[in-house]
Structure 1
Amino acid sequence: MARAAAGSPPEELPRRLCAAVCEGLGAAGATLSLLTDTPARQLLAASDARALLLEQIQFTVLEGPCISAAADGEPVVVNDLENMLTPWPLFGADMREKLPEVKAVYALPVFFGDYVLGTMDLLGLKRDALPDDALKQAPEVAAAVAAALVPVRAQLLPGREAPGWEPVEDVRAHWFDTHRAVGMVAAHKGLSPEDALALMRARAFRTGRTLADVTADIIGFGPHRSSGPDAPTP
């Protein structure tokens, strides 16, 4: 973690930390997000397309290992996603459909003091992907990630400004633009932000798309803007 953080430009730090965690623990992919179990969730980094889709699925269906880890403040271990009965039926079904090659998922809460600021997800392409010694080290790894983020803590939640994390396009879409879309839907339909987000999630789940796809339609980035009486568009 120290080597990954040393001399890193702030905008590249989360991505470098994900790469370091993958290398150190032997994971096939990693993600890092803030406020994971809240509507204000913000992706900081995803190591690759598979890891990004893992995050998209959890944010769309509002359940999964990282949301449980953030809510409970405890690591979540799913060693056999293919055959285990998990407490997240929508997440499990989506993973088996969209990411069948991912066989294991591990979610680590990232603490700032006593507060769970976010989570780190690790994925494996085989059952029991992380050996016992790696699982024992995982909480210390999450603590090292938190320590590496302390120097840039003022930049972690940019508020009304788009985040500057690299790669900008992915990070902005997940989920800064979602919050913009939520505001547009809420204003157009006279809903609370929570109900507007629920409407967008329902559309994503019903159509088999991600929340990012629905967001892109709403704010005009997608190739096919939503239409029709039930479209969650302003």
Structure 2
Amino acid sequence: MSDRMPLARQVRSAVEDCPPREVPRRLCEVLSGGLPVDAVTMSLLTDTPSRQLLCASNEMATAIEEVQFTMAEGPCITAASEGEPVHLTDWAAGSRRWPLFAPALRERCPDIEAVHAFPLWLGDYVLGALDMACRTPGGMPQAAIEQAIEASHAVAQALIPAQRLLSAEDPAPPWEPADAVRAHWSDTHRAIGVVMHRRKISSETALALMRARAFATGRNLREITTDILNS
């Protein structure tokens, strides 16, 4: 694939004749290779309790997703809810905007210098969001940001088959990394159901209690979910 091919075209080309289950991984690979970034994640329903992680390109990407999922705040959640790109390049300002997320991510991944998030618009609906992290101070240059914005529209179109898989019978779509995807989908929702039943509360309140427990104990939501399901 030519390096001169526009990134949006690379996205469209990469998923031609691609099985729906392989689409998120293929997209992460294209974005990681086409932009000056060190980690890429993508998720659907990003700013809702039904958030679904689709792909994390590496351990750094998984860490970003886990911190945002646990804290219920961060750049990709804001990008999805506001429908605009969000850029975390100033950590003092980031800590004021996301007082739980920014310090937690800084502690877990001190080499991350910037996080860029882009909403995935499909018509007048936001499907989810992309997160991209950089070790370079200041993050992506403006030209790369413009490429990412253009590519995000192609990504949204490419993810339609993955969105349809969410309503399929398989409770844990086989996306990567498998353990994190399962934690962000079937396991968490099973744990929410357990807490709802035990406490006779709504799903939103159950998830809030799980997140509060994670924050209070310094653990992530995946670990709290495991505790609940094993108890």
User: With structure 1 as the length reference, what TM-score do the two structures score?
Assistant: 0.88
Q: Paired residue for 1:76?
A: 86
| Structure 2 gap segments, 5+ residues each | 1-10
CA distance in 1, matches of 2:47, 2:68: 10
1:45 aligns with 2:62: no
AA matched with 2:38:
A
Q: Paired residue for 1:110?
A: 120
Q: CA deviation at 1:17?
A: 0.4
What is the count of residue pairs matched by the alignment?
221
AA matched with 2:146:
K
- Higher relative CO (Cα under 8 Å, sequence separation at least 6) belongs to 2
AA matched with 1:49:
E
The answer to whether the 8 A contact 1:11-1:166 is kept is no
CA distance in 1, matches of 2:23, 2:53: 13
CA distance in 2, matches of 1:124, 1:215: 29
Q: CA RMSD in A?
A: 1.8
Q: Paired residue for 2:97?
A: 87
The answer to whether the 8 A contact 1:73-1:109 is kept is yes
Q: Secondary structure at the match of 1:127?
A: coil
1:54 aligns with 2:64: yes
Alpha-carbon spacing, 1:152–1:95, altered in 2? closer, same or farther (3 Å): closer
Q: Secondary structure at the match of 1:67?
A: helix
CA distance in 2, matches of 1:213, 1:6: 37
The answer to whether the 8 A contact 1:103-1:125 is kept is yes
Q: CA deviation at 1:49?
A: 1.1
AA matched with 1:165:
W
Q: Paired residue for 2:154?
A: 144
AA matched with 2:60:
R
Q: Paired residue for 1:66?
A: 76
Question: Mean Cα displacement is larger for which, 132-141 or 159-168?
Answer: 159-168
Mapping of 1:14-29 within 5 angstroms? 14-29=24-39
Alpha-carbon spacing, 1:18–1:86, altered in 2? closer, same or farther (3 Å): farther
AA matched with 1:87:
R
Q: Paired residue for 1:218?
A: 228
CA distance in 2, matches of 1:47, 1:139: 19
Question: Mean Cα displacement is larger for which, 201-210 or 168-177?
Answer: 168-177
User: With structure 2 as the length reference, what TM-score do the two structures score?
Assistant: 0.89
Q: Paired residue for 2:205?
A: 195
1:139-197 deviation per Cα after TM superposition (whole angstroms, max 9, x unaligned): 11100111212344421444772223244333112232111100101101111111111
